[in-house]
Chains A and B, each alone.
Chain A
Amino acid sequence: GAVVSQHPSRVICKSGTSVKIECRSLDFQATTMFWYRQFPKQSLMLMATSNEGSKATYEQGVEKDKFLINHASLTLSTLTVTSAHPEDSSFYICSARARSYEQYFGPGTRLTVT
């Protein structure tokens, strides 16, 4: 099956700093990538939909100035958490859509803000 990677898998940062998470589709081109956030023992929450070459579409309640998304190529999307705070600590998962319905998920990034 298709492979989606995320880097880093874990990151610890200090409050007030920015963190960038990369999402790559390794063996297919993804015109659409999605960013999710998962709180402990809860479902995934869609943060934004990222289309290559255009601005991301953010879900209601998600601060676009805080969670910067860039989809620079058909294989790479990045999520930057700016001025991170402890409440931003979470598991961030990206996914990439390969064909009309298949969506493949990355392994996730555990962010801890101290």
Chain B
Amino acid sequence: AQKITQTQPGMFVQEKEAVTLDCTYDTSDQSYGLFWYKQPSSGEMIFLIYQGSYDEQNATEGRYSLNFQKARKSANLVISASQLGDSAMYFCAMREASGGYQKVTFGTGTKLQVIP
């Protein structure tokens, strides 16, 4: 079964508008972490935001916020006031304990294109 599911292979958003990228996860751990990364066409991965499973408040980092709904096991990324430079692949990831060590599993990604 997929640990991380991103159901939107591609998204378009108008510049200056907000966009939500979906992510659902599956884990039996009580303690886990959720991340979002941005991957521009150049290939490097850029850390955007983190949410711990015990964090009561949704994480925010500048224009990025994570809509964490624990009961639904969803961790959607909201980008406000989209900019042309936001066009990239976005990966949702989860950190959990597995076999005595921690590992991070990535979703398949969502390609976001910002339209001028």
Residues B13-65 near A (CB distance < 8 A)? 33, 35, 37, 42-47, 50, 52
Number of B positions contacting A (CB below 8 A):
23
User: Would you mind naming 30 contact pairs between A and B with Cβ atoms under 8 Å apart?
Assistant: A1-B47, A32-B102, A38-B43, A43-B91, A43-B108, A43-B109, A44-B45, A44-B106, A46-B103, A46-B106, A49-B101, A49-B103, A51-B101, A93-B43, A93-B44, A93-B45, A95-B45, A101-B33, A101-B35, A103-B47, A103-B104, A105-B44, A105-B45, A105-B46, A106-B44, A107-B42, A107-B43, A107-B44, A108-B44, A108-B45
Given A38-B43, A105-B44, 16 other A-B residues pairs in contact with their CB atoms under 8 A: A32-B102, A34-B104, A42-B108, A43-B106, A43-B107, A43-B108, A44-B45, A44-B106, A46-B105, A49-B103, A57-B101, A91-B43, A105-B37, A107-B43, A107-B44, A108-B44
